[in-house]
């Protein structure tokens, strides 16, 4: 397997904070590189979440191409590989595990989360199936739009995250990727400019009048039907 060379950190790179104790008490003890990768990915995913309590679902990790492509050797079982790494992190005391009907969930081992785990296990707290991501792991060549934005534009705020989710419903990922690249080439590193590109392509057609994905009329309608108020206007 060929190794790609890291090109360096871009000026607009965003950052994920990590507890200092990881470097002094946890990382030096880790022998399994997959355990290290899982811990770092869980912390990264949790930092991006806005919900409470913050947790990661096992299936959510399985659907993360960056994580799974880096963990699983050719021919290896991705579910078994991930499960083993998670169990190492749980046994080490970095993560907390709760087995629910919907899936296994994982939280950072903190005092507040230990209280939450107790409530979940006793039935005092309940997490519905709508709160978890059920997408299975499928290797894709196109990165997710959150990664595209962070790598090329900058930090994802809660408002930008909502805009990206809406855009993903309306446009093909390849469109979003190309729109971001065009914005970068014009030195217009902001979502408003990217959004205008997408709207222009939807309105006028992309590539000499040829349209990819939804038509402009469909996109206009979907902005309402798939938005936060869509349930109020569906017939």
Q: Which of 101, 131, 161 is the last residue of a domain?
A: 131
Please count the structural domains in the chain: 2
Question: Helix, strand or coil for residue 142?
Answer: coil
- pLDDT tens-digit series, residues 157-211: 888 888 888 888 888 888 888 999 999 999 998 999 999 999 998 888 776 443 4
pLDDT band, residue 12 (cuts 50/70/90):
low
Q: Does the model's pTM come out above 0.85? A: no
**Residue 131 DSSP label:** G
CATH number of the CATH domain containing 103: 1.10.10
The structure tokens listed for 166 are: 């809406």
Residue 176 in contact with residue 167, Cβ under 8 Å? yes
Q: Which domain holds residue 222?
A: 145-233
- Residue 77 dihedral angles phi and psi, to the nearest 5°: -80, 115
**Residue 206 DSSP label:** S
Q: In what order do the strands lie in the sheet with 56-57?
A: 56-57, 104-108, 95-99
Q: Which of 131, 164, 199 is the last residue of a domain?
A: 131
Contacts of 228 (CB under 8 A, 6+ apart): none
- pLDDT tens-digit series, residues 205-234: 776 443 444 444 444 444 434 444 344 334
Residue 226 in contact with residue 195, Cβ under 8 Å? no
Do the domain assignments include residue 168? yes
3-state DSSP helix/strand/coil % of the chain, to nearest 5: 55, 5, 40
* Pair 127, 24 in one domain: yes
């Amino acid at each position: 397997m060929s190794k790609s060379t890291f090109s360096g950190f871009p000026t607009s790179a965003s950052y994920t904070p990590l507890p200092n104790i990881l470097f002094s008490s946890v990382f030096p003890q880790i022998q399994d590189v997959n355990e290290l990768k899982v811990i770092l990915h869980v912390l990264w995913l949790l930092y991006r979440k806005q919900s409470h309590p913050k947790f990661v679902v096992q299936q959510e990790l399985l659907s993360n191409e960056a994580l799974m492509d880096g963990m699983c050797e050719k021919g290896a079982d991705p579910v078994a590989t991930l499960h083993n790494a998670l169990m190492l992190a749980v046994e080490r005391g970095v993560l907390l595990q709760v087995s629910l009907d919907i899936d296994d969930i994982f939280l950072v081992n903190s005092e507040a989360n230990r209280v939450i785990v107790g409530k979940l296990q006793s039935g005092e707290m309940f997490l519905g199936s709508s709160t978890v991501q059920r997408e299975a792991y499928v290797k894709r060549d196109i990165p997710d739009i959150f990664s595209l934005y962070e790598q090329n534009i900058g930090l994802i705020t809660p408002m930008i995250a909502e805009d990206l989710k809406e855009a993903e419903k309306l446009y093909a990922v390849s469109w979003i990727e190309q729109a971001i690249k065009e914005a970068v080439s014009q030195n217009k590193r902001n979502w408003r400019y990217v959004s205008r590109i997408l709207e222009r392509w939807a309105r006028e057609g992309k590539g000499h009048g040829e349209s990819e994905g939804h038509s402009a009329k469909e996109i206009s309608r979907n902005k309402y039907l798939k938005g936060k108020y869509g349930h109020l206007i569906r017939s």
